[in-house]
């Protein structure tokens, strides 16, 4: 099996349960449709890194028909996210995948600024012996994490969703003497003001 793996985390596109911070700009149905489109775009991105193996981890499970349809369309491995908070779900997914692959990247579906070159840079850093690679986000978190082995301290008791996620993660990296690489800054599509930015980016990529 290919030494490289890409894990994509995605939620089922349920109105009222995804992209809720866009509620002042989009109806629940339109927000769910946007989330579905972002998920497809993310899987297209991952598909460009083939022969890296692509895994789609669905939340809260993979029972929604959206997930098996994507698995057929992109010929990927579909699995449910398991665990309590986001950190536990991420750690479990990485632990499962790294039993079969040497290098794993984990990304979400909220970052339209990610490019194939960014993912290639992440894999290159891991292949050169870096323990961790991160793509920081403007909101204080990160949109990509790559590792060669499960590193539990980076995922436990982190204030997920807050502005100090990256800072706390880097503190853990330093305290455990891990070698890391920071990739260029990225941005999430979370707020109404991000929509115009997203539309401009989409127009430029056509």
pLDDT in tens, 148-178: 999 999 999 999 999 999 999 999 999 999 9
Domains of the chain: 4-205 (3.90.550.10)
pLDDT at position 202:
82
pLDDT beyond 90 at 206: no
Instruction: Give residues with Cβ within 8 angstroms of 44, minimum separation 6.
Output: none
Q: Give the residue-averaged pLDDT of 134-147.
A: 97
Residue pair 39/46 in contact (Cβ under 8 Å)? The answer is no
* pLDDT per residue as tens digits for the range 9-63: 999 999 999 999 999 999 999 999 999 999 999 999 999 999 999 999 999 999 9
- Which residue matches tokens 């990296």? 173
Residue pair 110/102 in contact (Cβ under 8 Å)? The answer is no
pLDDT beyond 70 at 83: yes
pLDDT beyond 90 at 203: no
pTM over 0.85, yes/no = yes
pLDDT beyond 80 at 144: yes
- Which residue matches tokens 């996210």? 81
pLDDT at position 44:
97
3-state secondary structure of 149: coil
Average pLDDT of the residues of the chain: 96
At 204, the pLDDT band (50, 70, 90 cuts) reads: confident
What are residue 177's phi and psi, to 5 degrees?
Answer: 55, 45
* ∠ CA 136-142-148, rounded to 5°: 95
């Amino acid at each position: 099996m290919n030494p490289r793996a890409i894990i994509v985390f995605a939620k089922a596109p349920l109105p009222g349960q995804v992209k809720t911070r866009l509620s002042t700009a989009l109806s629940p149905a339109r927000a769910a449709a946007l989330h579905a489109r972002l998920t497809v775009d993310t899987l297209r991105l991952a598909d460009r890194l083939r022969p890296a193996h692509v895994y789609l981890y669905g939340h809260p499970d993979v029972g929604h028909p959206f997930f098996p349809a994507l698995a057929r369309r992109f010929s990927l491995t579909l699995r449910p996210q398991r665990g309590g908070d986001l950190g536990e779900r991420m750690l479990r997914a990485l632990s499962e995948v790294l039993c079969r692959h040497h290098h794993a990247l984990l990304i979400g579906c909220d970052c339209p600024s990610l490019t194939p070159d960014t993912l290639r840079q992440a894999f290159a850093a891991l292949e050169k012996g870096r323990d961790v690679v991160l793509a920081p986000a403007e909101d204080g978190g990160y949109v990509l994490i790559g590792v060669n082995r499960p590193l539990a301290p980076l995922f436990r008791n982190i204030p997920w969703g807050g502005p100090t996620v990256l800072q706390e993660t880097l503190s853990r990296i330093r305290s455990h003497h891990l070698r890391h690489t920071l990739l260029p800054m990225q941005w999430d599509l979370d707020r109404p003001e991000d929509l115009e930015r997203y539309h401009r980016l989409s127009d430029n990529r056509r």
